[in-house]
Structure formats: structure tokens, C-alpha cells
Amino acid sequence: EKMSEVGFLQRDFGIESGTNKMLQVSQKDTTVEQIKKAIKACKKFGIRTFANMMVNLPGETLEDLNSSINLMKELNCNVVVWNVTVPYPGTFLDRKLERQDYCKLMSFPSDEAYELLEKKYKFAKYDLNLKELVDDLYSIFPHPRYLHFKFDPQYIKRWFLFIDFIFKRKYLWVVLKSKRKLEYVKSFFTQVKHN
């Protein structure tokens, strides 16, 4: 409530997964119930929600993946970003990273990086192609980089959730007053351009 009162507009959550088992694997000190409660509180006070999700977590099954998808549908966050687990240095998976693979993975989401992930760093238990999986997820949860044109009412509703800030005076007022307004506008159009 206090965040809303001081003009807090959006809360980004590193949710990662929709199952407690995968949250433990990701070394997240939270539960699915705590996540639901936090998102609900933000919505109650008009704070936008941004969910960062992961696929290819170690030991992740199709059941875990489907739970993550269903959780995102249930929570109805304004923005849902799907990322592929990559063993970057400093992460809990870096001990599995071979030095010569580091440069290729730094080019993620290039085709070369996806190929390397499929070949050597596929941590999930399912056989889904990771690049195709991410494309499929963005056909459900909109993002400017993965623009899909379709007339699915749920998809269209999620697009409006994604861009609803454009229509809110509170948000526009904060952006207009900000010293970084040009950075925000540039960032938005850069995202669309990378589509």
C-alpha cells in the first residue's frame, strides 16, 4: 500500500517457476503461495506486475512447465518474460560451464547459443526444442520481440494488460516528470524494433 502511495508503478518479480520443487532448485527463498499473495497485493493497489519466468531449469519436467504456464495465466501479470536457463558465470550452474562455451552462450538468444544449449546444457527433462518452446510461450504471453498476430481473445486481453500503462494518467504523469523519459521511450521502441 505504501509503495502505491509514493507513486510506485511496477514491481518486477523473479518468479522463475510455478512449482515449489523448481523454486527450490532455483535457490529461490519463496513459495508459489507467497508469489500469489504478492501479485494479488500489487494488483489490489494498482501496481503493475512484471513476471520473469525460466524454462530449462535442472530437472524441470513437462508437468513443472505446465504448472508455470498455468500460474502465469492465473496471476494475469501485466508482463510475462520467459527466459532460458543458461549457465552464466556466477550463477548456481556455472560449475557445469566449459570455458570455450562461454562466448557462444554470451550471444544468447542467437541460433548458435540455442544449438549449444540443446547439445550440452539441456537441464530440463523434457525433449522440447528450447527455441520453439520460447516462441510457443510468446504466442500465449505477448512481448514486442515475439509479436504474433492472432484473434484469440485471451491473447488480445494479455496484449492490453501489457500496454495498459499507456492509458493510465498516473503512469504518464510520472514518465513526463522523469528526467529519464527519453530513455524510457527509446527502450520501449528498441524492444519493438528487435521483433
Residues paired with 140 in a beta bridge = none
**With contact defined as beta carbons under 8 Å apart, do 83 and 91 qualify?**
no
Q: What is the pLDDT at residue 34?
A: 98
Domain ranges of the chain: 2-85+123-167
Least confident of 55-69, 80-94, 117-131, 145-159: 145-159
- Read off the pTM: 0.78
The CATH class for the domain spanning 2-85+123-167 reads: alpha beta
pLDDT band at 195 (very low <50, low <70, confident <90, very high): very low
Question: Which residues, 6+ apart, have CB-to-CB distance to 143 below 8 Å?
Answer: 79, 80, 81, 162, 191
Give the residue, 153 or 190, on which the prediction is more confident. Answer: 153
pLDDT digits (tens, 9 = 90+) for 115-145: 999 999 999 999 999 999 998 998 888 776 6
